[in-house]
């Protein structure tokens, strides 16, 4: 996809997809509750895939989660406690993404799960759920590391009410992506779950979820790309993004504070937000952001930091190595094409920076990763560029290129 910008200020309203983090949790809870109406479900691939697989599960014994990590992990837990029997598989990349922590925990709770290929990785064979009749009054007690993907933790929490005695889940060590865990238990509570949290231990009591109507919020991760566009656009640029909430369940709302350092002012409206470009504030010191709780913002910030020549020290990037691609390596390779760098400083610290950053018809590889495509696309504000394999955005924001065209970009298929 070839992108260029005509040079005028950015103006208008951009439509965002609904949050797939909220949607995929709500879809699992709706299935466990046996009803309720979900509104504002987006056409993002992961959300539609989750809907299709949940609908297909009762009548098929082979389900393909493709490249969707949330779908694979949430379904592994859901299908286990609902006594489904069959094979759960995914793409070649999915079969390289670990799932042993979740499988081990579910086995301890009573699930029969085996690996069909490499130990610790999909595809999986699920063979039912055997509850211990002698432990029906006591919760299943599990301990898992807190620094693993929050998707494992959320998957276990959501099926907690279906376990015979409920669930006592203790998180050990440092806890990453806590906002995603908070989102999970908040949605569980909306669907009727009874839980308590003390320190790093969650106790989920056994009870039936209640059918609930819920409207999914728009996606703050998707909003982050519009923040970058406003930051890089000509002076006087502004954009309105509907259906984002000031009281949000999404940890990626952290983009509001981060992008204020790059000259983007956020005003909350009754039905969304308004972004306005402002002069970049004079930094009182080096910028430093921890992405432990919002890893999906890391690519956005790394690119904007290099493009604006404002170095940022970045921590909490550990999970980026096991996403759709090795996102750290991908960022390093693609930023180098423009004169940027994501430098490994050791001890989990990285520094996004640049020297002589130039956009001049470079071609950006996307590595089968939707966030690589959308994080680099805003650079078209600074010059023409090409995004390879643009169809990857279907995973979370299928209308992204159409929204760019509506906002004034020249968007065309590259020859």
Residue 319 marked in a binding site: no
- This prediction's pTM: 0.86
Percent of the chain with pLDDT over 90: 86
Which of 46, 67, 252, 296 is flagged as catalytic? 296
Residue 64 marked in a binding site: no
**pLDDT value for 286:** 78
Structure tokens at 53: 């697989």
pLDDT in tens, 259-295: 999 999 999 999 999 999 999 988 767 799 999 889 9
Mean pLDDT of 109-121: 97
**pLDDT value for 359:** 98
Q: CB of 19 within 8 A of CB of 217?
A: yes
pLDDT in tens, 206-226: 999 999 999 999 999 999 999
**Mean pLDDT, rounded, of the chain:** 94
Say if residue 199's pLDDT is above 90: no
Closest to 77 in 3D by CA, of 134, 37, 29:
29
Q: Is 222 exposed, middle or buried (0-12, 13-18, 19+ CB in 10 A)?
A: buried
Percent of the chain with pLDDT over 70: 98
pLDDT in tens, 356-377: 999 999 999 999 999 999 999 9
pLDDT in tens, 392-405: 999 899 999 999 99
pLDDT-derived band at 415 (thresholds 50, 70, 90) equals: low
Q: CB of 187 within 8 A of CB of 249?
A: yes
Residue 248 marked in a binding site: no
**pLDDT value for 376:** 98
Say if residue 329's pLDDT is above 90: yes
Query: What is the Cα–Cα distance from 21 to 40, expressed in whole angstroms?
Result: 13
CA–CA distance from 234 to each of 2, 9, 171, 231, 302 (Å)?
20, 5, 47, 8, 20
Residue 20 marked in a binding site: yes
Residue 25 marked in a binding site: yes
Closest to 223 in 3D by CA, of 18, 6, 8:
18
More confident residue, 293 or 55: 55
Residue 21 marked in a binding site: yes
pLDDT in tens, 150-189: 899 999 999 999 998 999 999 998 887 788 999 999 999 9
Query: What is the Cα–Cα distance from 103 to 311, expressed in whole angstroms?
Result: 40
Q: Is 213 a catalytic residue?
A: no
Closest to 83 in 3D by CA, of 130, 116, 142, 27:
130
More confident residue, 134 or 114: 114
Mean pLDDT of 123-137: 79
**pLDDT value for 136:** 59
pLDDT in tens, 73-108: 999 999 999 999 999 999 998 999 999 999 999 999
**pLDDT value for 414:** 77
**pLDDT value for 9:** 97
pLDDT-derived band at 135 (thresholds 50, 70, 90) equals: low
Say if residue 133's pLDDT is above 60: no
Give the helix, strand, coil percentages of the chain, each rounded to 5: 40, 25, 40
CATH superfamily, domain at 2-17+219-412: Enolpyruvate transferase domain (3.65.10.10)
**pLDDT value for 134:** 55
Closest to 204 in 3D by CA, of 152, 174, 164:
164
Say if residue 124's pLDDT is above 60: yes
Same fold, 2-17+219-412 and 20-203: yes
Could you confirm whether domain 20-203 is CATH 3.40.50.620? no
Going from N- to C-terminal start, the domains of the chain cover 2-17+219-412, 20-203
């Amino acid at each position: 996809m070839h992108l260029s910008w005509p040079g005028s200020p950015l103006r208008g309203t951009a439509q965002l997809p609904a949050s797939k983090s909220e949607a995929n949790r709500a879809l699992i809870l709706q299935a466990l509750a046996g009803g309720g109406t979900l509104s504002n479900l987006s056409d993002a691939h992961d959300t539609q895939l989750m809907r299709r697989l949940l609908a297909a599960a009762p009548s098929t014994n082979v389900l393909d989660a493709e490249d969707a990590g949330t779908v694979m992990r949430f379904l592994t837990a859901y299908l286990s406690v609902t006594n489904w029997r069959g094979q759960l598989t995914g793409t070649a990349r999915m079969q390289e993404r670990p799932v042993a922590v979740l499988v081990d925990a579910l086995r301890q709770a009573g699930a029969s799960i085996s690996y069909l290929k490499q130990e610790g990785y999909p595809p999986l064979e699920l063979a039912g759920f055997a509850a211990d009749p002698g432990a029906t009054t006591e919760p299943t007690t599990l301990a898992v590391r807190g620094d693993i993907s929050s998707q494992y933790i959320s998957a276990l929490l959501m099926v907690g009410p279906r376990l015979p005695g409920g669930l006592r889940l203790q998180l050990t060590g440092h806890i990453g992506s806590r906002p995603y865990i908070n989102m999970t238990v908040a949605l569980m509570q909306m669907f009727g779950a009874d839980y308590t949290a003390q320190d790093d231990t969650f106790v989920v009591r056994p009870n039936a979820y209640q059918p609930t109507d819920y409207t999914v919020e728009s996606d703050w991760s998707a909003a982050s790309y519009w923040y970058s566009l406003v930051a890089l656009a000509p002076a006087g640029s502004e954009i309105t993004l509907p259906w984002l909430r000031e009281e949000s369940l999404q940890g990626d709302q952290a983009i509001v504070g981060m992008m204020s350092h790059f000259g983007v002012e956020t005003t909350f409206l009754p039905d969304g937000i308004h972004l306005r470009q402002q002069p970049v504030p004079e930094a009182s010191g080096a910028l430093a952001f921890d992405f432990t709780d919002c890893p999906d913002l890391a690519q956005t910030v790394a690119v904007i930091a290099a493009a604006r020549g404002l170095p940022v020290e970045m921590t909490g990037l550990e999970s980026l190595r096991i996403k759709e691609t090795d996102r750290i390596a991908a960022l390093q390779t693609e930023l180098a094409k423009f004169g940027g760098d994501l430098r490994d400083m050791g001890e989990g610290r990285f520094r996004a920076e640049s020297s002589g950053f130039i956009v001049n018809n470079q071609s950006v590889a996307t590595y089968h990763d939707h966030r690589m495509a959308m994080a680099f696309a805003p650079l078209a504000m600074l010059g023409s560029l090409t995004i390879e394999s643009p169809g990857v955005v279907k995973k979370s924001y299928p209308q992204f290129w159409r929204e760019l065209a509506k906002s004034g970009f020249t968007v065309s298929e590259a020859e």
